């Protein structure tokens, strides 16, 4: 098998210390170590060829006979004219570089940034990243069976015709925009987020699998952020902590190391950059509390506090600037000693790609260091993936903003660290029990399964729904009602896009027909064009007597799936999403909609909070138009033990039982219409159904 790996940043990018870069290095190394038949193609732009070599140099040396590197030259300017423009540009470049190098002596940060931008301009100024020549070049030279993109920003993979795999460990600035907006401007966030969202949405329309390290990331990041993605396009491959091996480290004495950097007697090591999700503020408040009690502890970091402006202001307001020591980048030996000699490791994070802070895991690996960790997003699943619970892995848990609890725990650890060290020793062993060999094995298994599916022309069973609802409906209709997919009749209430995340398009492609009710005027013409055989109604459904029209709250194209008639639901969304328009929409009784069909196999109902109100208006006594199945969405806040109990009880009184759910939608089947396949029996309420 041949795998293509893309390193196609549209600027100069050294990813040796980026989390996903480190992950990719570990993964690719393991893939080559444990798969003798695997060959690699590395693809990059010419100006990043050097950085590609820096990241994967060991692989290039060890497996030179199984690795090919392709570097793309996509200049906008023809070769015969390039020298006339490029030579003066280079002259200007080297002149500026000389001045900036001199300037670094007086103002390092300013001129360091200018040099970085200059390097980017030198190589990228004349590149056309959208040139069709790239597509032709890739398809002429690549023999890859699959392509792997290690960053969500990379675009080159779209030029490959083979199945694609993208690493999505998190999408924090998109998923938690409000948190990041406290520190970065809307313009900065949009400049970062929008290209990523567009890029991932384009990948979602192709044969792409989005790989995450946990179901939490799949559920809360990929499926919530990537437009057009469905659950079948996601995969989970847990991985070990991205910790350094710290082999052959030359260790200074504790006193010598502290003297080297001017570290006090007691300190917390935070060797990472300051980012909004790192939540340094809670540590600063805890240090202030301890200082008021006469306990001085230092905050030693390789990052910069002022990267988050509010953190710098807070440090000054609390009067703890003297407790903060910024030491900048350090060698691997010094990083090891920074961990080794600290008094307590603190993970204050709101969220991490693998749930738990890498700095805490790295400290635990160094050994004999007590830890404190926040109860952050995804932490429970991170622990469960390695066989632990919150109780088993007692890392002195505290709520992310509870500085009082954090200060108390740090004080307790400083007075007696041994019990904390002993109770935490097993945590690192559990995390390291996941090996890169198992990661490589799972990755290869995933790729081969996708290749086999593609080669066997499995398009017939491709889901178009958001969470595979159409495939669940197909199986229920076949198993419980012996229905052929070619003759399915459906009613889709608030179906949104005619194809993407649509519960009925799967059946339409196979010959089914139905009534589509979509109040959003923006989608009406699309339905008429894409699904001409269906009856399309640009109306809403009545949810109470005496109301013939209602306000339809439109949150715009990017959040159209949240549009609603519900004033309550609108009010719960308006702080997080921009209300674009309010339409006055005609309402029809759902029984009048049903009457447009001869019979109904299933109803898909997704009305953003008004499901139960509409269900109560249905004439369930009309046996001719009594649907066999209802697929009903319930908002997460309404879920209890898998589904909304109130809806479940109401449907049960109408003769429908909850046959399946995917924690987003419930599938209710009419027990009076069940017609099982031969030799199959079911028992319901003490009766045998056959």
Under-70 pLDDT residues of the chain: 74-127, 130-132, 454-461, 486, 557-561, 635-644, 676-690
Contacting residues for 174 by C-beta, under 8 A, at least 6 apart: 193, 196, 197, 221, 225
Which tens digits make up the pLDDT trace of 509-564? 877 888 999 888 777 777 877 887 788 888 889 888 878 888 888 877 666 667 77
Q: What is the bridge-based pairing of β-strands 581-588 and 549-554?
A: antiparallel
Q: At what angle do helices 108-124 and 79-104 cross, to 10 degrees?
A: 170
- Structure letter (DSSP) for residue 460: G
Distance CA(373)–CA(386), nearest Å, equals 17
Instruction: List the domain boundaries for the chain.
Output: 78-126, 254-432, 463-689
Distance CA(667)–CA(665), nearest Å, equals 7
Continuous H helices in 177-270: 177-181, 186-204, 215-217, 223-225, 254-261
Q: Is it true that 254-432 and 463-689 share their CATH fold?
A: yes
SS3 663: coil
Distance CA(622)–CA(90), nearest Å, equals 80
Class of domain 463-689: alpha beta
Residues in the chain: 690
Burial of 686 (0-12, 13-18, 19+ CB in 10 A): exposed
C-alpha distances in angstroms, 31 versus 61, 157, 181? 15, 19, 39
Distance CA(102)–CA(424), nearest Å, equals 50
Distance CA(115)–CA(123), nearest Å, equals 13
User: Phi and psi at residue 91, in whole multiples of 5°?
Assistant: -60, -45
As a dihedral over the C-alpha atoms of residue 128, residue 115, residue 18, residue 314, rounded to 10 degrees, the angle is -120
Distance CA(42)–CA(39), nearest Å, equals 10
Distance CA(603)–CA(669), nearest Å, equals 11
Across 586-608, b (16+ Cβ under 10 Å) vs e yields ebebbeebbeebeebbbbbbbbb
Contacting residues for 574 by C-beta, under 8 A, at least 6 apart: none
SS3 379: helix
Class of domain 254-432: alpha beta
* pLDDT confidence of residue 426: 94
* Chain mean position to CA 434: 21
Instruction: Note whether 269 and 339 are within 8 A (CB).
Output: yes
* Chain mean position to CA 549: 39
Instruction: Note whether 667 and 630 are within 8 A (CB).
Output: yes
SS3 448: helix
* Chain mean position to CA 22: 18
Is residue 604 within a helix (H) or strand (E), and if so which, with residue range?
strand 602-605
C-alpha distances in angstroms, 309 versus 185, 276, 300, 349, 593? 12, 10, 18, 18, 56
* pLDDT confidence of residue 456: 57
Continuous H helices in 293-331: 309-318
């Amino acid at each position: 098998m041949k795998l293509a790996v893309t390193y196609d940043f549209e600027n100069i990018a050294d990813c040796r210390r980026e989390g996903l870069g480190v992950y990719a290095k570990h993964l690719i190394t393991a893939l080559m170590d444990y798969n003798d038949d695997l060959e690699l193609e590395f693809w990059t732009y010419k100006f990043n060829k050097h950085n590609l070599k820096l990241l994967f140099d060991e692989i290039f040396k060890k497996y030179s006979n199984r690795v090919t590197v392709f570097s793309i030259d996509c200049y906008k300017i023809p070769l015969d004219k390039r020298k006339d423009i490029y030579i003066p540009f280079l002259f200007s470049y080297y002149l500026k570089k000389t001045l900036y190098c001199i300037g670094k002596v007086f103002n390092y940060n300013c001129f360091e940034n200018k040099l970085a931008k200059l390097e980017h301009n030198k190589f990228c100024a004349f590149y056309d990243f959208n040139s069709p020549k790239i597509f032709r070049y890739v398809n002429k030279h690549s023999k890859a069976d699959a392509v792997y993109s290690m960053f969500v920003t990379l675009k080159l993979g779209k030029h490959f015709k083979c199945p694609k795999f993208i690493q999505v460990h998190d999408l924090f600035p998109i998923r938690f925009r409000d948190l990041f907006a406290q520190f970065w401007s809307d313009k900065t966030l949009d400049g970062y987020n929008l290209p990523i969202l567009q890029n991932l949405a384009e990948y979602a329309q192709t044969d792409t699998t989005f790989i995450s390290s946990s179901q939490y990331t799949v559920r809360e990041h990929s499926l919530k952020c990537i437009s057009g993605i469905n659950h079948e396009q996601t995969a989970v491959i847990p991985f070990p902590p991205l910790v350094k091996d710290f082999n052959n480290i030359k260790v200074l004495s504790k006193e010598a190391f502290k003297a080297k950097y001017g570290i006090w007697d007691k300190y917390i090591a935070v060797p990472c950059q300051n980012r909004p999700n790192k939540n340094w503020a809670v540590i600063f408040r805890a240090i202030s509390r301890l200082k008021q009690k006469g306990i001085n502890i230092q905050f030693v970091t390789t990052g910069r506090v002022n990267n988050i402006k509010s953190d710098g202001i807070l440090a000054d307001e609390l009067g703890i600037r003297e407790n903060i020591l910024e030491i900048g980048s350090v060698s691997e030996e010094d990083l090891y000693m920074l961990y080794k000699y600290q008094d307590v490791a603190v993970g204050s994070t709101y969220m991490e790609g693998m749930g738990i802070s890498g700095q805490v895991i790295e400290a635990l690996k160094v050994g004999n260091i007590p830890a404190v960790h926040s109860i952050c997003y995804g932490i429970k699943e991170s622990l469960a993936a390695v066989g632990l619970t919150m109780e088993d892995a007692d890392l002195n848990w505290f709520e992310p903003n509870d500085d009082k609890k954090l200060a108390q725990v740090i004080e307790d650890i400083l007075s007696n660290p041994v019990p904390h060290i002993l109770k935490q020793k097993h945590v690192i062993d559990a995390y390291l029990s996941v090996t890169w060999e198992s990661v490589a094995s799972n990755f290869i298994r995933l790729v081969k399964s996708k290749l086999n599916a593609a080669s066997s022309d499995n398009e017939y069973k491709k889901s178009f729904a958001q969470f595979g609802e159409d495939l669940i409906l197909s199986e229920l209709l076949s198993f419980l009602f012996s229905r052929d997919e070619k003759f399915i009749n459906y009613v889709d209430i608030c179906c949104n896009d005619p194809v993407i995340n649509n519960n009925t398009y799967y059946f339409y492609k196979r010959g089914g027909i139905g009534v589509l009710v979509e109040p959003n005027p923006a989608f009406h013409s699309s339905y008429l064009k894409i699904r001409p055989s269906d009856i399309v109604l640009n109306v809403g459904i009545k949810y109470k007597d005496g109301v013939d029209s209602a306000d339809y709250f439109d949150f715009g194209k990017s959040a159209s799936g949240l549009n609603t008639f519900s004033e309550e639901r609108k009010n719960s969304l308006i702080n997080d999403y921009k209300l674009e328009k309010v339409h006055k929409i005609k309402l029809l009784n759902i029984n009048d909609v049903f009457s447009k069909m001869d019979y109904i196999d299933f109803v898909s109902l997704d009305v953003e909070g008004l499901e139960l109100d509409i269900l109560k208006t249905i004439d369930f006594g009309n046996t001719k138009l009594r649907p066999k199945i209802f697929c009903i969405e319930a908002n997460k806040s309404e879920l209890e033990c898998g589904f909304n109990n109130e809806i479940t009880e109401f449907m049960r009184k109408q003769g429908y039982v909850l046959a399946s759910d995917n924690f987003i939608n419930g599938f209710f089947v009419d027990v009076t219409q069940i017609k099982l396949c031969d030799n199959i029996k079911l028992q319901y309420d003490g009766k045998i159904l056959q």
